[in-house]
Structure 1
């Protein structure tokens, strides 16, 4: 059973998509061990509570520096035996210690087709505003492994979404979530759990079938 920890900062719609796919049996042998919010009182924690998933707030502002924040997150996830960390709309920055400890075991959903409209400062509604201002006709979402620099890690999955006439940032954001984010984030977790992801440099190869692991093999390794 793969234990995952989900990082959130808001309503938790991507968390709900993961829960739904686990409940339906699409994602098998995966358990959400904990949900961690960067802000207190967010609705994502209510979603977790509804499904009897433990949730807590670990806020950056309560720590003197990023290293202390990293250590607090690492300690929490180790305590809950988390093997994969999923950033599902998480707006805080993870530091070098956290990235090193969970190398190739942190994935993030970003609301654009990386490398477009991404990087520092591109979060929430902001990428969608830039998409509309640029006049591009296609946008979408990306799931990628996390590295220290924002949105630069190897790409796992992407899905395109058409920009439509009359779109506002809010309308486009909703369509990207419904048509792309809520599909490819659960799918990436499923692929990771099935040991079907292989990182080669900046590329992620997806195996058609899961490898047969020996008893001595490390479970869920990349």
Structure 2
């Protein structure tokens, strides 16, 4: 497998920036492209600031996927990383990257996953359910939200006094620590 990564993100892009910086600190410019489904997503500014090519595609492009797939092919992308990406990935893109597209979810799947379960909604649900632990799940992406094969999970304690914000803080720390390492391991374990 090559070493050209595309990151798909919908929001501020902290995970995207963390991944880009992780590889650059190792002297590797693996992240070749950042794509978003939100015109004003701050991830675009982060990518530009790090000199990573980036683009926005509107809803109809994400529904049929052709223009996005064409750009991924133009940049010779080998591996796709979802980092806070909140749209469904079209089937033609999924099929072009079998076992080469991963996502991170802020809970211990299969709990608290599925359509509409992201960000604070997940943390609120974890706390409301009285869970004693939460964490992150890194998994392969397939046709169903948060149902791809699990690659790894990392855990943290849910404290009795936790708020969605305090839990999110610990979850983000796990994301920043483990997501780039798992991507690195996957890239180096596949030929």
1:161 to 2:152 alignment: no
Q: CA deviation at 1:95?
A: 2.2
Map of 1:183 onto structure 2: 177
Q: CA deviation at 1:171?
A: 2.0
Q: CA deviation at 1:52?
A: 0.6
1:81-120 alignment runs, 5 A limit: 81-120=76-115
Map of 2:43 onto structure 1: 44
CA distance in 1, matches of 2:32, 2:68: 14
Q: CA deviation at 1:88?
A: 0.3
Structure 1 unaligned residues grouped into runs of 5+: 196-219
Q: CA deviation at 1:41?
A: 2.1
Map of 1:147 onto structure 2: 142
Over aligned residues, Cα RMSD in angstroms? 1.6
1:132 to 2:127 alignment: yes
Deviation digits for residues 69-126 of structure 1 (CA, Å, limit 9, x no counterpart): x212111110111000000000011122221111111000100011111112211211
Structure whose CA Rg is larger: 1
After alignment, is 29-38 or 81-90 more displaced?
29-38
Check whether the contact 1:38–1:58 (CA below 8 A) recurs between aligned residues: yes
Check whether the contact 2:7–2:35 (CA below 8 A) recurs between aligned residues: yes
Normalized per residue, the structure richer in helix is 2
Matched length: 190
Map of 1:5 onto structure 2: 6
TM-score where L is the length of structure 1? 0.81
Give secondary structure in 2 for the equivalent of 1:40. Answer: coil
Map of 2:32 onto structure 1: 33
CA distance in 2, matches of 1:16, 1:57: 17
After alignment, is 163-172 or 49-58 more displaced?
163-172
CA distance in 2, matches of 1:95, 1:24: 32
Structure 2 unaligned residues grouped into runs of 5+: none
CA distance in 1, matches of 2:52, 2:28: 16
Displacement over 6 Å in runs of 4+: none
